[in-house]
Chain A
Amino acid sequence: MNARRGDGATIMLGREELVLLPQKAVYWPAERMLIVADMHLEKATARREAGILLPPYDTHETLARLLDLVRTLRPETVLALGDSFHDAGSVERLDTHARERLAALAGLTRTIWLVGNHDPELPSTLPGTVVPSFARRTVTFRHVPSSAANVRELAGHLHPKARIRAGGHAMARPCFVVGGGRVILPAFGAYTGGLDVTMPPIRSLFPRGADLYVPGRDGLVRLSMRAG
């Protein structure tokens, strides 16, 4: 994985310069901060009591991708925008291997866990700092995006996905949604599905339209979502 800064797309949020990365994360050079949303770790094992045994590799996969990014970018801070763990029992269910990876992460960078609706409470044993809210300079970081206008915020929660139509065919890809001072990040987790950006929960946040940045093999592709 090559995560040079040049691979991403630089956007301005007020006076702050942010780099959207094709790896579905955001890098903030001025703060040396890497931001990811909605990892949903241990989603696979969440329904095992009910007999749903999904391939138990999602945590490994997600953390491996995060560690790759951290090793390449060397951020001072990793900020997870909530729903990092799929449910209340997730941290308990982590296997040795996953715990080692989280420890490795803690050794490389400072980790800040913003709480989300899936993980409103996180155990203190978790390496890093758990915070209910977070802001830095002029930027607010939230799990659930606010509905206010005139904001400077980065949020997750919605797992935006773009439907792309061309040549009579269509596909859906996770994407960043950027507009009106707001950035919604795509979900970072290996098993996280998506919500169409034209659906009301997302569209209503961008009354004047938005830019969509879709991660592809050769970097980010920029599309736009009309107003209304």
Chain B
Amino acid sequence: MCPTMTEPLPVAFRTWFAARGWHPYPHQLAMLDAARAGHSALLIAPTGGGKTLAGFLPSFVALADAPRAGLHTVYVAPLKALTANIADAMARLVGEARLGIRLDVRTGDTPSSRRRRQARMPPQVLLTTPESLSLLLSRPEATTLFAALRTLIIDEVHALAGTKRGDQLALCAERLATLAPGLRRVGLSATAAHPAALAAYVAGGAPGGARIVRAGEGMAPEIGLILPDGPMPWTGHMGLASAGAILRQIERAKVTIVFVNSRAQAELLFQALWKINDRNLPIGLHHGSLDPARRSRIEAAMAAAELRAVIATSSLDLGIDWGDVEQIIQVGAPREAARLAQRIGRSNHRMDRPSRAFLVPANRFEVLESVAAREAVLARDLDGEPPGPGTLDVLAQHMLLTACHGPFLPDRLFAEIGRAAPYAMLGRECFDAVLDFVETGGFALRAYDRHRRLHRDALGRMEVRTEAIARTARMNIGTIVETPRIRVRTRRGRDMGSIDEYFASTLVAGDTFFLGGEVVEFLTLRETTATVARSAARTPRVPVYGGSRLSMSRGLAGRVRDLIHDRARWDLLPPDVRDWLSAQARRSVLPQPDRLLVETFPRRKRWYLVAYGFEGRNAHQTLGLLATRILEETGAAPLGFVATDDALACWCMREPADIHALFSPRLLEGDMTEWLAESAVVRRAFREVAVISGLTERQVPGRSRTGRQMTASTDLLYDVLRRYDPDHVLLRATWQDAARGLTNFDRIRALVERVQGRIDHRRLDRGSPLAVPILLELGRNRIRNGEGEELLLREAEALVHEAGLS
């Protein structure tokens, strides 16, 4: 370490580093440099690069150089747990280096006594979450609390930008900058696909933008593939066939994180591993449905290296570093190269050693995806969509909360909001429509004109009209809309975790299911608590958990298409997968990059159509809704469809005609989107928009079920709003969300445009090898929309009559 580089560090820090035999990383000093120049900055660093310290160091140095009272730095992280962990780590540093800086945490878990203390005497550094920051800003006292704020640190920027929470935080950052002119912003991010967009996100309206500081990349990771002992399964996503191989790999390392894609998969794999865990290796389980206390116990055990492995969902994607993790194992499809790289980074936090990872594909298509993901990570070709434009429901919530803080002039607020990167392109017309919604509901029937939420004074300033309205607005803060959850407890009152309300409602006494790696028997459901007892049952049901399902990214999809087509690279694939592709080439044709392969064939008195779009499950689901509509029109009488990440399969009474016309731009025309608007996915998008925008009230956990039945279902609101007020701004917001996220309509559009005049239609006498995995999925999925519900209803009736129940 050259002496000039440590010079900017005050002596207390130099002593602290030296006592540990550490040196500051160059990027930590570069962040200090940016701070001294008054620049905002975005640090891009792999895990283990001392990223968090790099973010705090400039604030600590400034406060050590010139101690002062009052709030100096606000740190925001996406998770409550992460905020608490970082606070502990930083408090330790501050104590050890005797810096005399006061840190405190403010999240939804902070007790009210501590909140009051913070209000009386604010800490110099406050660690919080986007929701709690939003709440603080909605209070009139925010003006004084944040007046002397110098720095805003946003951690895990890559996980926030482009999400609704990210939109909320960007708006709050501009609010802070208005209250505290000259505010400097600091972003901390993992390696990500769109650094310039992230820098713009962090900078917002900060003069001069954000300087990008990059830490060294560290060494390239070592990524292996784990295959099952037997043949590669045709279908399934759980990876249980590889349990033996996974356990052997866990035995080889000191500590392993086994990442999976869903909570159900975590429970099943946990069971499968313990069934064969003859040496009783300590293996734990961590996912979002487990009781928080239990999750923290697992985290503590991991940190203390008491566990050999933990099976985790995205609940461990972010978080503090556990130095001893030697390897990660990803079971199931990687879905996104960027997420895989992030997960791989959770192993080995030393930058001078490679991270080790193993991929465990659960089926043949996942082998292709895993090989593609490995190539992408090694080539540092990270995918992920660039952050999109800010959402209007979040904007509506923010406007109302701003009005709760104090009066604002619409022109000034419009300028402030336009400085937030997600809203840079927001037009005045749109701003005014959202403001009208906030003020009056924005309905064509001006029923609430005399009951506005906002009051305009003589100067044209707007303020929330009554304290009751402000109270409701504050109750409704937040951009995460979860399906209602039911707490699960034993008869002795031990908290086990939670299950989806929907799943709970399907349980009858005596049913058994997995939770927290145990098999439990359902006893009773009272209000929002389910009581269970341990059970010795062997074949329990698998809970249905909420949570979003990630689709295979565009980048990986492109790589999978290339890999299938490029025989020269097939030696990367296991023999049974190679044979499968060869058989496909013989019996049908291999899907070509930039063309769309569509096969039709008869099977059991039905006609099947399989389109290999490789656009991810969400997009294929939407394509299925649209394509079955056209098949209906052209007389093929479709009965249902199933969507996977790789393909769409529809089955019909009659042979589908004119395949080329089926995938034409006709799919994207107005009446088709109208049809899509009826679907369950768009309804789900509306539910989120209705809650976030404050159209309807958030369901408060613990409220009695009879109370809940009085809550107007957003489905009913959606139907009525579409009928009476089709141009309402929230319907616009819903469509904007759905097109990007749940329906992936954007990807369908891109697909249709890409393959125009490039469709390979094969009419076969039976299903092709590539179609086998999709055909095996049949019977699990069916049409899920208004029309399909009618079929479902008839089918349910038929089942009841067949069973002689009626």
Contacts and interface: CB of A to CB of B under 8 A. Distances in A.
A168 B781 CA distance: 7
B508 interface: yes
Nearest to A93: B447
Contact of B796 (A45, A196, A201, A223): A223
A208 interface: no
Contacts, number: 149
A73 to B, nearest CB: 23
B441 interface: yes
A107 interface: no
A53 B506 contact: no
B790 interface: yes
A7 interface: no
B717 interface: yes
B447 A45 contact: yes
B346 to A, nearest CB: 34
Interface string B504-518: 011010000000000
Nearest to B501: A196
Contact of B793 (A54, A164, A194): A164
Given A57-B720, A169-B782, A163 B506 contact: yes
A53 B779 CA distance: 42
Interface string A157-196: 0010001111111110100000000000000001111111
Interface string B774-795: 0000011110100001101111
B152 to A, nearest CB: 29
Contacts of A217: 790
B780 A168 contact: yes
16 contacts: A45-B447, A51-B473, A52-B472, A54-B441, A54-B696, A55-B720, A55-B721, A55-B724, A57-B443, A57-B720, A165-B506, A168-B781, A170-B506, A171-B789, A222-B806, A223-B796
Interface stretch (B135-143, B250-258, B483-491, B705-713): B705-713
A112 to B, nearest CB: 24
Nearest to B695: A54
B451 interface: yes
Contacts of A92: none
Given A54-B717, A58-B720, A163-B506, A169 B448 contact: no
A96 B459 CA distance: 34
Interface residues of A, number: 49
B799 A166 contact: yes
Interface residues of B, number: 58
Interface in A189-228: 190-196, 198-199, 201, 211, 214, 216-218, 221-224, 226
A91 B708 CA distance: 24
Contact of A51 (B694, B709, B716): B694
Nearest to A214: B793
Contacts of B466: 49, 51
B443 A55 contact: yes
A221 B705 contact: no
Nearest to B464: A51
Which DSSP category, helix, strand, loop or mixed, fits chain A's interface? Answer: mixed
A55 B717 contact: yes
Contacts of A226: 805
Nearest to B526: A200
B546 to A, nearest CB: 14
A51 B797 contact: no
A43 interface: yes
Contact of B797 (A47, A57, A170, A221): A221
A117 to B, nearest CB: 10
B502 interface: yes
A61 B718 CA distance: 13
Interface in B670-718: 694-697, 705-706, 708-713, 716-717
B709 A194 contact: yes
3 smallest A-B Cβ distances: which pairs? Answer: A51-B469, A53-B441, A56-B447
Contacts of A169: 781-782, 784, 792
Interface in B395-449: 400, 440-441, 443, 445, 447-448
B568 interface: no
B725 A57 contact: yes
Most buried by A among B472, B505, B712: B712
A55 B779 CA distance: 39
A226 B509 CA distance: 13
A61 B720 CA distance: 8
A60 interface: yes
Contacts of B440: 53
Interface string B449-484: 001010000000000101011011100000000000
A95 interface: yes
A224 B806 contact: yes
A48 interface: yes
B710 A193 contact: yes
B121 interface: no
Given A191-B712, A222-B797, A223-B800, A52 B696 contact: yes
A58 B696 CA distance: 14
A209 B792 CA distance: 22
Contact of B697 (A44, A47, A167, A224): A47
Nearest to B509: A228
Nearest to B792: A166
Most buried by A among B447, B697, B717: B447
Nearest to B711: A193
A48 B717 CA distance: 16
Nearest to A216: B793
B451 A53 contact: yes
B712 A163 contact: no
B780 A191 contact: no
A30 interface: no
A50 interface: yes
Given A50-B472, A52-B697, A223 B502 contact: no
A227 to B, nearest CB: 11
A103 to B, nearest CB: 19
B187 to A, nearest CB: 34
Nearest to A199: B705
Contacts of B794: 216, 221
Contacts of B525: 199
Contacts of A191: 712-713, 716-717, 720
B469 A167 contact: no
Contacts of A52: 472, 694-697
Contacts of A167: 779, 782, 792, 795
Contacts of A53: 440-441, 443, 448, 451, 453, 695
Nearest to A201: B706
Contacts of B725: 55, 57
Contacts of B400: 51
B800 to A, nearest CB: 5
Nearest to B801: A222
B508 A190 contact: no
A56 B448 contact: yes
Contacts of B706: 195, 201
A60 B525 CA distance: 37
Nearest to B473: A51
A50 B717 contact: no
A37 to B, nearest CB: 13
A48 to B, nearest CB: 5
B793 A173 contact: yes
B237 to A, nearest CB: 15
B443 A49 contact: no
A199 to B, nearest CB: 7
A88 B779 CA distance: 50
Most buried by B among A48, A53, A165: A53
B795 A166 contact: yes
Given A49-B468, A164-B796, A218-B790, A43 B805 contact: no
B441 A56 contact: yes
A45 B502 CA distance: 29
A221 B790 CA distance: 10
B709 A195 contact: yes
Given A191-B713, A193-B711, 5 more contacts: A55-B721, A166-B795, A169-B782, A223-B806, A224-B805
